[in-house]
Amino acid sequence: MQWQTSLPLIAILRGITPDEAQLHVDALLEEGFDAIEIPLNSPDWQTSISQVVRTSGSRALIGAGTVLKPEQVDTLAEMGSRLVVTPNTNPAVIRRAVEKGMTVCAGCATATEAFIALEAGAQSLKIFPSSAFGTDYVKALKAVLPADVPVFAVGGVTPENLSQWLNAGCAGAGLGSDLYRAGQAVSRTREKARAFVSAYREAVK
């Protein structure tokens, strides 16, 4: 399996509003990000996602996080969303997204959950919350997973510790509050994005 973007860092814009979404997405794209999720517990997410898909969907993998129900997958597919990120391992959600031709990054914590997600068709996994488990846990989990499955660390990943997660076997990371906090200035998003991109490039060179 191969992750479908050139930079395996997923920007998580939790809490963003439709008025702000495009400006922050533009900043992220300009800094090198090409995978963006807007969680479904954000205000008026339908408007934000449909707008960003329309304007930026050809340049990045755009979609939603905190996807909990198959019906939400249907709505996202109708918008043209191509990315579904889940906080848990729900085979019905994963199967529906795969049927719709979407890229799924399924949330899991244990080997059991990881294999359930893969059996349902998930193309990638996210270990959440990564900071609660640590890099040694990720290394141990990676040892039993298929080598070609991209694993993302989500939760507590910073520019300073990103290399540790990559060295543990993660393909990349999902970046939440350490990249974007609801209401922050676009300039702050740009600054943080630049730090993450620099840290990633330094780690893999």
**CA neighbours closer than 13 Å in the CB half-sphere of residue 24:** 30
130 has a pLDDT exceeding 80 = yes
Do 79 and 46 touch, CB atoms closer than 8 A?
A: yes
Whole-number pLDDT of residue 1: 63
Long-range contacts (CB closer than 8 Å, 24 or more residues apart) made by 76-81: 76/49, 76/102, 77/101, 77/102, 79/46, 79/49, 79/50, 79/53, 80/50, 80/53, 80/54, 81/49, 81/53
Structure confidence by residue, pLDDT tens digits, 43-56: 999 999 999 999 99
**Cβ atoms 42, 14 nearer than 8 A:** yes
Q: Which domains does the chain have, with CATH numbers?
A: 9-204 (3.20.20.70)
The pLDDT score that the predictor gives to residue 2 is: 62
Percent of the chain with pLDDT over 70: 99
For 68-111, the pLDDT digits (tens) are 999 999 999 999 999 999 999 999 999 999 999 999 999 999 99
Q: What are phi and psi of 38, to 5 degrees?
A: -110, 110
The region, left, alpha or beta by phi > 0 then psi within -120 to 50, assigned to residue 27 is alpha
Give the separation between CA 178 and CA 176, rounded to whole angstroms.
6
pTM of the model: 0.97
* Residues tagged active-site: 37, 126
CA 122 to each of CA 29, 80, 107, 137, 143: distance values in angstroms, whole numbers, following the listed order:
25, 19, 10, 21, 18
